[in-house]
């Protein structure tokens, strides 16, 4: 007898080490974002950066708490309304800037974030939002603390790795 029903087969995905390593950081940021939340924006040691991308509707708020004596970022929080790549960029940025001095954090580039998260070209605007957010947060901190050491927001480093390596 002839049957029109195809036999039921279970198709199992074979994990690829290359694919797993390429998307693992981005997926980890989406499924378990780190440092979500907010701080008191009236606190003078807190800088707040609020940026948005009208083209896609993503909005990112990044807040940093700075140790006034050392100029070091001691804590960072974010609230992001947008796609998973925007949330992953925010989450990664908060982890990255903790422990950095303001001048080091101002040199973070969207290229560093997008490479670490393996963002596709169509999602590069998410890493650009994160770069803009950290610069806006640093600028807000300087507005609240005019006596703090001024940071070059133009960021002259080519990559974050160059910023983090000790000079020889």
Q: Which one of the listed residues 23, 27, 50, 56 is annotated catalytic?
A: 56
Distance between CA 88 and CA 26 in Å, rounded?
6
The b/e string for 73-99 (b: 16+ C-beta within 10 A; e otherwise) is: bebbbbebebbbbbbbbbbbbbebbbe
Helix (H) or strand (E) holding 162: helix 160-164
Give me the catalytic one of 62, 73, 88, 126: 126
> Among all chains, which residue has been given the structure tokens 């703090």?
148
Q: Which two tokens stand for residue 160?
A: 């974050």
Beta carbons of 99 and 76 less than 8 angstroms apart: no
Q: Please confirm, yes or no, whether 56 is among the known catalytic residues.
A: yes
Task: Report how far residue 4's alpha carbon sits from residue 7's, in angstroms, rounded to the nearest whole number.
Answer: 9
126 is catalytic: yes
Going by C-alpha positions, the residue among 113, 110, 157 that lies closest to residue 132 is: 110
Residues noted as catalytic: 56, 126
């Amino acid at each position: 007898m002839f049957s029109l029903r195809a036999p039921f087969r279970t198709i199992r995905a074979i994990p690829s080490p290359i694919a797993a390593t390429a998307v693992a950081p981005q997926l980890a940021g989406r499924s378990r974002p780190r440092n979500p939340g907010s701080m008191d924006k009236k606190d003078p040691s807190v800088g707040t950066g609020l940026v948005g991308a009208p083209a896609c509707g993503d909005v990112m708020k990044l807040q940093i708490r700075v140790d006034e004596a050392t100029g070091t970022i001691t804590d960072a929080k974010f609230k992001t309304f947008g796609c998973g790549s925007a949330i992953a960029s925010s989450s990664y940025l908060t982890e990255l800037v903790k422990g950095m001095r303001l001048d080091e954090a101002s040199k973070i580039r969207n290229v560093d974030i997008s490479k670490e998260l393996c963002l596709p070209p169509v999602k590069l605007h998410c890493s650009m939002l994160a770069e803009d957010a950290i610069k806006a947060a640093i600028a807000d901190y300087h507005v609240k603390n005019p006596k703090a050491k001024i940071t070059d927001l133009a960021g002259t480093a080519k990559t974050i790795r160059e910023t983090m390596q000790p000079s020889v």
